[in-house]
Structure 1
Amino acid sequence: MPMKHLSFSLSPYKGTVLILLIVSCFSFSGCVVNPATGDYDFVLMSEQEELNVGSKNNLKVRNQLAILDTQTLQRYVQEVGLKVARVSHRPSLPYQFTVIDSPEVNAFALPGGYIYVYRGLLAYLNSEAELAAVLAHEVAHVTARHSVQQHGMSTASNVFGQVVAAYTGVGIAGDLTNILGTAVVRGYGREHELEADGLGASYLAKAGYNPQAMINVVKVLKNHEVWATKKAEAEGKEASTYHGIFSTHPDNDKRLQEVVANVPTKSQGKVFSRRYLEKINGLAFGESSSTGVTINNQFLHKPMNFKVHFPQHWKIINTPARLIAHPIEKSAIFLMEQGPIKNGFRPDAYLKSLVDQRYRLRGGQSIHIGNTIGYTAIVQPKLGGSFIRLAVFFHEGKVFILQGQVKQSSTFASYDVEFLQIINSFQSLPPQDYQRAEGNKIKLIKASPGMTFSALAKRSPIQEQAELQLRLINDMYPKGEPKVGQWLKVIE
């Protein structure tokens, strides 16, 4: 019987090496039939191992990223995800769909069926079918075992290195295996995403959704990528975009159009726009109160009840693990994070416990701000090097560690003035800031006659390019305008 296609891209290599790799594939029992595509794939991981890897990394994700605490929305996303997962090629996997409380526009899947969608991505979708399309795309990565294949190929570089070395020599083997790994990763990027879109579109149709939603999602996210890239370039940063985006716009992507058009459908399928919009009504847009918000260089954290102020020329970056800030010139950095509670320690003893014998402390002083107590000192290396400004606060049963560092030791004295200003600004959240600390939220309104995005932007709390962002979240980028009676997402 004819052998099915092997998912390799090895045409640049010599015939001897190609034969070795194919023979090795079967010798190591690494070739299995892909449950979604029917092709032979090279993997060195059983399904049980795949489940174990997914479960282990799921725990890491949950420990490192904030999970959205809105249970009604979490249940809704789980229900929609299961609709497409149950009609997929691997319906029996223990799928878990989770919303991460982050403004990033992204989604990803772990082996074994652990799928995550970021809160920021939900703001840019406009129907349940589009949500289902994102989840179906990620389900397809799982059913086609894309991450497992990449794991197998990276492991294979070591295995094949030994096989090829016997014929070509160690030096050449190293070059070949490096090229192999690079070729597979680069080749699989485009093909895997297109394959996931095709499989995902078929899952959409089987679940009763309109498969055209897959193209709609790619279009929305491509528009976001264009806007985010321009914004990042203006700020001298690199844009962060959804991993499924292609280099071409979906309107001009013939392969994507063909993949979705070839999906068999019994009917046009459902969209459920209003139902989806009602589910995300009130969802945080940008930073959320549960993880802290930044307003005019003040960081406000309502659940932990504190406020800290940074100089106007500083940039603030709120990550799940810590708060990071730096001046525009990036010649210094300030970090703030929670520390473990140590019973019996006062702030001065706690701070000293953080410093090992290679350093000495100088200029230590106690801090009292209301009911909050703290201690700060300069950490000086005994054998030379840059100083560090270190501070510890005991605040409402929690420990906060703050530290400021510089790139050039000669600039420490000038930056230490600002480090101390930041440290001394730490305080309990004032009652007048409670409302501001709630952050911005999505609100549904019905478009009235004469309503424009320009007028809506003037009333919006969005601080940067409000008009363009309102168009983006309503799928009217770059020049669309509301139609009378249309439901719109605005930010309040």
Structure 2
Amino acid sequence: MRERALESSGRHSAVRRRHCVVTPLMAALCLGLAACASVDAPPGPVGEAPVAAAPRTTGGAPVSPERKRLIDAFGGEYYARSTESYLDGVLAKLAPASGASAQPYRAALLNSPVVNAFALPSGDIFVTRGLLALAEDTSEIAAVMAHEIAHITARHASQRAEFEKTAALFTRVKVQVLGQQQAADEAEARSRLSIARFSRQQEFEADQIGIKDIANAGFDPYAAARFLAALGEWSALRASISGAGTADRPDMMATHPSTPERIAQAVAEARQFGAPGVGSKGRDAYLAAIDGLAFGDDPSQGVVRGTRFIHPKLGFAFEAPEGFTLENQTSALIGVGQAGGEALRLDSVAIADSTPVASAIASGWIDGLKTTSVEPMQIGGLEAATAVAQGEQWSFRLGAVRLNGRIYRLIFAARSLSPAVDAEFRASLQSFHLINAQDSALAAAQAIKIVAAGSTDTSETMAGRMAFLPHPLDQFLILNGLARDVPLVAGQHYKIVAE
């Protein structure tokens, strides 16, 4: 959640729906909303040791709208000079191999825990800190960046734009000139399918080009397949932990689908350059470059700790019902109950000082509100209100709390709002409070730490040092590219997450 609200008005439209979670369960929390709001904290330096550099400049040139939108959507830039310099060194090796040595590729880090990477025609290769945490060695990060460079050199963006433009023109001709609406609808459906196939083919082509380029640059060509496999495991684990589906800042599983077929093709491409073991991996150098990198949620944007959500910057915290799993997204905090039959959403909108909270909660920001259920109240000394709303398939307990010129809106959804379920929802609403010393301690930043395994260390003992994370053993194994029951090597370095 962020500090600055996304302003919108009127009933929830198809355009606004992109700011909401759209999984079947969470859709219940969005379909009735008049506006999907968010809270936005300004991007800035976060983390520990690596975060000591000043922002990069663009040489006085204006920042492009595309670049700004991308940076804003992924938490702002993350400043880590030594890590950026290391990645620039990798790019310097890749550029000649890609046949575009004149292109001044530069690495830029994004302050997001999701796993993703992008390339702009300007030569900027954007990598999230979530991706850096997942990559196991230099060859894997080289494979990711080579893949993104391949999209530029193969002109995939312009090819797709031209394809979509042609398809749209064909549809308009069908409707406006020939008056064939049904044929136009069918053509549009075929066009969407063709674009999906076109994009999928582009991914395979970028894989093929990228693998060739990293091999020519001296890196392990099998790194691409390894990273794709890790990405699939990580995405599956995150989905299992959150239980809430895809976030509104999708990871690479959404934009770069990792299928068994794609991994198999990556392996087949790598075999053209030799058997496994060919090329440099650069594991130790890479681990040194990401030591101290921030991990997980940025405290300035709110953090999830079990069933507790804490926002140090905005100065509040609250506790979700027992068994809920929370996920902090760009537009809102969302949560899903253990059985999958309950959900919650927290966002915020600006409120005038003259507007009572009870009036605000009854102002129509969710459909089906029972006006007779509106109940003014105090929560932790703050002006608040609660009410009940009824949809076709879902029942809602609503809460609104005034804090620092904003109204924080809590929406709890259940198939049936039984007295027991409603009591849990009301208790969670009542837990909303101004942040205290215990909250601040719990919201401490987390970071990647590189440690050497001792002679008695196992994956279980290493994971034990990450016990504050959900599924710590699974996270340790995936972050380090390890299989279960494979012994650690004494003296070898591994990634753990430290507070």
User: What's the TM-score once normalised by structure 1's chain length?
Assistant: 0.70
Indicate the residue corresponding to 1:220 in structure 2.
227
Indicate the residue corresponding to 2:486 in structure 1.
480
The 3 A distance-change label for structure 1 pair 181 and 423 is closer
Counterparts of 2:115 and 2:395 in 1: how far apart (Å)? 37
Quick one: which amino acid aligns to residue 222 of structure 1?
A
Q: Offset at 1:310?
A: 1.0
CA contact (8 A) 1:337 1:402 kept: yes
Indicate the residue corresponding to 2:28 in structure 1.
none
Indicate the residue corresponding to 1:33 in structure 2.
none
Aligned counterpart in structure 2 of residue 393 of structure 1, from 374, 399, 402? 402
Counterparts of 2:493 and 2:264 in 1: how far apart (Å)? 25
Structure with the larger RCO, 1 or 2 (CA within 8 Å, 6+ apart):
2
Counterparts of 1:148 and 1:430 in 2: how far apart (Å)? 52
Indicate the residue corresponding to 2:23 in structure 1.
none
Answer with 1 or 2: which has the greater Rg: 1
The 3 A distance-change label for structure 1 pair 313 and 380 is closer
Aligned counterpart in structure 1 of residue 324 of structure 2, from 314, 322, 327? 314
Counterparts of 1:374 and 1:171 in 2: how far apart (Å)? 54
Counterparts of 2:184 and 2:362 in 1: how far apart (Å)? 51
Describe the superposition over 1:382-409 as per-residue Cα deviations: whole angstroms up to 9, x where unpaired.
Answer: xxx9665130221xx462422325365x
Quick one: which amino acid aligns to residue 210 of structure 1?
G
1:448 matched to 2:454? The reply is yes
Indicate the residue corresponding to 1:367 in structure 2.
378
Alignment of 1:100-111 (within 5 A): 100-109=110-119
Structure 1, unmatched stretches of 5+, are: 1-53, 263-267
Counterparts of 1:362 and 1:128 in 2: how far apart (Å)? 59
Counterparts of 1:236 and 1:432 in 2: how far apart (Å)? 27
Quick one: which amino acid aligns to residue 436 of structure 1?
L
Q: Offset at 1:102?
A: 3.2
Q: Offset at 1:122?
A: 1.3
Indicate the residue corresponding to 2:207 in structure 1.
197
Aligned counterpart in structure 2 of residue 402 of structure 1, from 381, 392, 409? 409
Q: Offset at 1:425?
A: 0.8
Indicate the residue corresponding to 1:135 in structure 2.
145
Alignment of 1:44-193 (within 5 A): 55-67=64-76, 69-72=78-81, 75-76=84-85, 79-80=88-89, 83=92, 86-87=95-96, 88=98, 97-109=107-119, 113=123, 115-161=125-171, 175=186, 178-186=189-197, 188-189=199-200, 191-193=201-203
Indicate the residue corresponding to 2:219 in structure 1.
211
Q: Offset at 1:356?
A: 9.7
Alignment of 1:279-358 (within 5 A): 279-340=289-350, 342=352, 347=357
CA contact (8 A) 1:302 1:429 kept: yes
Indicate the residue corresponding to 1:229 in structure 2.
236
Q: Offset at 1:161?
A: 4.7
CA contact (8 A) 1:198 1:260 kept: no
Quick one: which amino acid aligns to residue 491 of structure 1?
V
Q: Which moved more, 1:291-300 or 1:155-164?
A: 155-164
Counterparts of 1:440 and 1:223 in 2: how far apart (Å)? 21
Q: Offset at 1:322?
A: 1.1
Aligned counterpart in structure 2 of residue 491 of structure 1, from 466, 484, 497? 497
Q: Offset at 1:312?
A: 0.8
CA contact (8 A) 1:111 1:142 kept: yes
Indicate the residue corresponding to 1:247 in structure 2.
260
Q: Offset at 1:320?
A: 1.8
CA contact (8 A) 2:317 2:439 kept: no
Alignment of 1:242-281 (within 5 A): 242=253, 243=256, 245-248=258-261, 250=263, 255-258=268-271, 271-281=281-291
Structure 2, unmatched stretches of 5+, are: 1-62
Counterparts of 1:442 and 1:128 in 2: how far apart (Å)? 16
Counterparts of 1:90 and 1:440 in 2: how far apart (Å)? 38
Describe the superposition over 1:11-52 as per-residue Cα deviations: whole angstroms up to 9, x where unpaired.
Answer: xxxxxxxxxxxxxxxxxxxxxxxxxxxxxxxxxxxxxxxxxx
Counterparts of 1:393 and 1:473 in 2: how far apart (Å)? 41
Q: Offset at 1:92?
A: 6.6
CA contact (8 A) 1:201 1:260 kept: no
The 3 A distance-change label for structure 1 pair 77 and 353 is farther
SS class of match (1:290): helix
Counterparts of 2:360 and 2:185 in 1: how far apart (Å)? 49
The 3 A distance-change label for structure 1 pair 231 and 489 is closer
User: What's the TM-score once normalised by structure 2's chain length?
Assistant: 0.70
Alignment of 1:19-30 (within 5 A): none
Counterparts of 1:235 and 1:363 in 2: how far apart (Å)? 31
Indicate the residue corresponding to 1:36 in structure 2.
none
The 3 A distance-change label for structure 1 pair 357 and 197 is closer
CA contact (8 A) 1:96 1:115 kept: yes
CA contact (8 A) 2:83 2:290 kept: no
The 3 A distance-change label for structure 1 pair 89 and 399 is farther
Counterparts of 1:123 and 1:81 in 2: how far apart (Å)? 17
Q: Which moved more, 1:111-120 or 1:453-462?
A: 111-120
The 3 A distance-change label for structure 1 pair 238 and 432 is closer
Quick one: which amino acid aligns to residue 282 of structure 1?
G
SS class of match (1:491): strand
CA contact (8 A) 1:124 1:472 kept: yes
Q: Which moved more, 1:140-149 or 1:268-277?
A: 268-277
Counterparts of 1:325 and 1:227 in 2: how far apart (Å)? 20
Describe the superposition over 1:322-374 as per-residue Cα deviations: whole angstroms up to 9, x where unpaired.
Answer: 1112323444432222323646656556656675999647543242526xx23
Counterparts of 1:260 and 1:376 in 2: how far apart (Å)? 66
